[in-house]
Structure 1
């Protein structure tokens, strides 16, 4: 499986919206919009997991720099926590 980072999301985007937007590139295994623990408000980024690295790369190519609900997305391979 391969996980991608999706940044600059509108604050109204939820997990289902994120999965739907990226499902055109293949089966979305999981999607998560990251939220502030205290306020539960979106932090404006999330992650999408695909079955294969190939599908993840297609999603990056297809969505990086694209407009999504008025915001320009920043999409890349997700980095493991120790590499951030």
Structure 2
């Protein structure tokens, strides 16, 4: 599982995040996405820790905490939703049944 960390300062580094989360256990990985055009941090990150217990401790303590002048949003990361295609209907209804054009 992974932890989502939002509302980060644009000055944050992977080392900064790793040191904060290390207070709650072993940090396996930190991913700090950057804008592909500018290379600047996008204001959120994903942190992976050794155990769910460590992740839960970090989430419960850091969610809503102030850090680097920002109020953090910290929770369990959700699985990325796949984007359309493949003939699946978005509304939970049966197949396309005679409906032409775009939705």
Give the structure-2-normalised TM-score: 0.76
- Note if 1:41 corresponds to 2:40: yes
**Cα distance in structure 1, aligned partners of 2:5 and 2:70:** 12
Higher strand share: 1
Q: How does 1:1-84 map to 2 (within 5 A)?
A: 2-82=1-81
Residue segments in structure 2 that go unaligned for 5+ positions in a row: 83-103
CA contact (8 A) 1:35 1:43 kept: yes
1:38 Cα deviation from its structure 2 partner: 1.1
Q: Which has the larger radius of gyration?
A: 2
**Cα distance in structure 2, aligned partners of 1:6 and 1:42:** 13
Give the structure-1-normalised TM-score: 0.93
Task: Identify which of structures 1 and 2 has the higher relative contact order when contacts are C-alpha pairs closer than 8 Å and 6+ apart.
Answer: 1
Aligned length: 82
Superposition CA RMSD, Å: 1.1
CA contact (8 A) 1:18 1:32 kept: no
